Amino acid sequence: MTKLTIVAFDGTRFDIDADNGSTVMENAVRNSVPGIEAECGGACACATCHVYVDEAWTEKVGPPAAMEEDMLDFAIDVKPTSRLSCQIKIKADFDGLVVNVPERQA
């Protein structure tokens, strides 16, 4: 189990014990975090699971892969810290990870 915090746009914090190997998106959906629609179910094909990785974590989480970066073009209000949450796999190293949900999704 790895501690994951997802902060909704209105500031509501969802503190989650996430399974290693699960994705941030799966944890958001399981915990009914508003704003993560995940229309494609995690196939990196919709951009409705867009999140901002907390700045303290961006280096550790790393940049998006090429396919993810292409799909981020379809997200709204993309920032340097933007990632698709279905492409972030939880691992022990990410204990305490914080991501923020944008105001709106594509």
- Interface contacts to ligand FES, rule CB under 6 A: 25, 38-40, 42-49, 71, 84, 86
* Cβ at position 28, least distance to ligand FES in Å: 10
Task: Please say which residue, 16 or 84, places its beta carbon nearer to ligand FES.
Answer: 84
* Cβ at position 33, least distance to ligand FES in Å: 13
Q: Which residues contact 64 (CB under 8 A, 6 or more apart)?
A: 72, 82, 83, 84, 87
State phi, psi for 27 to the nearest 5 degrees.
-70, -35
Q: Write the DSSP symbol of residue 29.
A: H
Closest residue by beta carbon to ligand FES: 86
Tokens of 69: 């970066």
Task: Please say which residue, 39 or 93, places its beta carbon nearer to ligand FES.
Answer: 39
